[in-house]
Chain A
């Protein structure tokens, strides 16, 4: 174990700091979803141009081949300077790693760079009305027709589908096979008449996620990721990346939000209230622990190439801590925290989704019990 920085790592940090100082886009504009999205897209473009969009990716796809420590430094600096999120989060954290793990050379060549540059936005078409926690029971059907697959079905809760060019799609290709074995994984082009996106309004009042109605959409066979019948395993790669990778990414947001809460508590004097101080201390500890656990997860990825089921711990820890934090804001910030359209109120409501998206906390606990601890299944 060595948690100090080498000269080379410090150099990396200095270069990044300087780049951020020159290119930081400032705070996100308050406005509708589209304005925010465009802002994040421009920001990702500028990260890409600077070579910073995904430092840990291979150089040939626009990354820097960064070491674990360097990517940790990257995320710390982004957090410290409160830089916004990039637009193509699901592309960077889900599509990219899944394609790197399972894609052919042609697929990597074709898809990875536009993910980094945000020229092509991605979404995740896993969940269906009848298949949420029980993902393996998806009903969306893909039938072979010459060189194409013809897909019909319905997806739900598809975040960012309104902006997406591509969708990571899990569909059933063999209805006769046992449920985990009959699935295949596709890269679906959203720009076609067979794909309709209908926004779903969330408890926050905005429509971040959508329903997808897929009616005889066509997917060329070359857009299958992994082999026929590999869908479940490919989907697991995506999910493991979602739980550890996204958790890693989002702990930076947690840090940013906590810093803002502490600032507020110092400003209005509530930090002197021992009850508030204790609660902030608890969240401070949990936030740090989330960060450290996420870093250890990065080490595992470096060692084994892919995140393991332990990543579920990061996601659980992150989502629960975030909910505690935004709830505490109601005590610390006062009336503004509950006012419509305030940042804190948005976070309070949005955080309720954290323990659902990417696998509910109950499912994560099942996975930890069964796959990490090896406890017997029912």
Chain B
């Protein structure tokens, strides 16, 4: 066993981090958020690098790598708080690959893989990223009983301005007859979306922690760095604890998606339950550790809090995923494999 990225995966992640460190600085994140527009060049660059297709198999024009690689990229995307349709488009691609018919895959995956088309994965009536602009939408019924594939113009999407201006959101609904049914398991269609959202949350947590550590080492009160007070130290220690918990669960889920399909759904719920809670708490703690500055628009930490709130809610938050984990645990006991 080796619970770590391979050298190649490490390299992909490292390059992504470097690229985003210059292409998605907090200054750029801020100006995109305040003008409520993505940087179109960033998306183009991500497409040139093949990110949207990383986990789409080569037969459909993708990079043929795995969900582990995709999760690594999204973690870095979260770390940099990059504004682009990457999460939405890859969640959509993964859902089609999981649950679509052969014909649906052939139609959409090559275009999603290059980023020529963007997509989203949405639960009916709930907020989904980049929905209004999507060329293709995987729509899950609100009771999770089925999934449908809709071209963008077959769905009705109301764009919603949320508290997170670093990303665009919308609520998708559709006539019952609109689009095509997807033959696969809607749970599986949702699972990869949930786990890559968790990966983004891991990046958000890590960045919030890094920014906070820097601040509390520097900020002085009572003649010493506030980071020297045990209350602040314990808060930071807990931030790490939660970030690492989310990371363990998310990496496991990504691995399961690639290598142990029977545990994908369990892994995805484990990841999303843990990462949603961590995201909300860690970013909240980051604000607290910054004191009054953390409550200002001018400081950047609030962007992370806001994105974490939206990511935490997307494809279900902690409570429903825990419920699913309990049901799965019960099933294991009553019908051992």
Residues of B within 8 A of A122 (CB): none
Q: Are B161 and A356 within 8 A (Cβ)?
A: no
Contact of A352 among B295, B310, B322 (CB under 8 A): B295
Is the pair A134, B221 in contact by a Cβ cutoff of 8 Å? yes
The verdict on A127 contacting chain B, using a C-beta distance below 8 Å, is yes
User: Within the assembled complex, what's the spacing in Å between the Cα atoms of A170 and B312?
Assistant: 42
Q: A338–B292 Cα gap in the complex (Å)?
A: 23
List residues of B (278-322) whose CB comes within 8 Å of A's CBs: 280, 284, 287-288, 291-292, 294-298, 302, 305-306, 309-310, 312-313, 317, 319, 322
A32 to B112, CA, bound (A): 43
The digit string for B155-180, where 1 denotes a CB below 8 A from any CB of A, is: 00000111111000001000000000
A323 surroundings in chain B (CB, below 8 A)? 284
Does A29 touch B at the CB level, under 8 Å? Answer: no
Kindly list chain B residues whose C-beta atoms are within 8 Å of the C-beta of A132: 221, 291-292
Mark each residue of chain A from 251 to 287: 1 if its CB lies under 8 Å from any CB of chain B, else 0.
0000000000000000000000001100100000000
Decide if B162 touches A360 in the complex (CB within 8 Å).
Answer: no
In the complex, the answer to whether B297 meets A366 with C-beta atoms within 8 Å is no
Q: Looking at the complex, which one of B292, B306, B310 makes contact with A356 (CB distance below 8 Å)?
A: B292
Q: Which of A130, A131, A330, A341 contacts B313 (CB 8 A)?
A: A330
Cα(A360)–Cα(B285), bound, Å: 12
Do residues B298 and A157 form an inter-chain contact, with CB atoms below 8 A? no
Q: In the complex, how many residues of chain A place their beta carbon closer than 8 angstroms to a beta carbon of chain B? A: 39
**Contacts A338-B127, A349-B163 given: A205-B297 contact, CB under 8 Å?**
yes
A156 within 8 A of B: yes
Q: A338-B127, A339-B160, A362-B229 are in contact. Are A353 and B295 (CB under 8 A)?
A: yes
Query: Does B3 have its Cβ within 8 Å of any Cβ on chain A?
Result: no
Contact A339–B284 (Cβ < 8 Å): no
Q: CA separation between A157 and B296, bound complex, in Å?
A: 9
Docked complex Cα distance between A99 and B13 (Å): 61
Rounded to whole angstroms, the CA-CA distance of A156 and B162 in the bound complex is 29
The interface residues of chain A lying within 8 Å CB-to-CB of B220 are 130
With A338-B313, A348-B309 known to touch, is A275 a contact of B319 (CB < 8 Å)?
A: yes
Q: A201 an interface residue at 8 Å Cβ cutoff?
A: yes
Mark contacts of A223-261 with chain B using CB atoms, 8 A cut-off: 1 yes-contact digit, 0 otherwise: 000000000000000000000000000000000000000
Q: 8 closest A-B pairs (Cβ-Cβ)?
A: A201-B297, A203-B302, A134-B221, A362-B231, A340-B161, A134-B222, A335-B127, A157-B292
Beyond contacts A201-B298, A340-B165: 8 other A-B pairs, Cβ-Cβ < 8 A, are A131-B221, A132-B292, A330-B309, A335-B160, A339-B162, A352-B284, A362-B231, A366-B231
Seen from chain A, the residues whose Cβ lies within 8 Å of a Cβ on chain B are 127, 130-134, 137, 156-157, 200-203, 205, 275-276, 279, 323, 327, 330-331, 334-335, 338-341, 345, 348-349, 352-353, 355-356, 360-362, 365-366
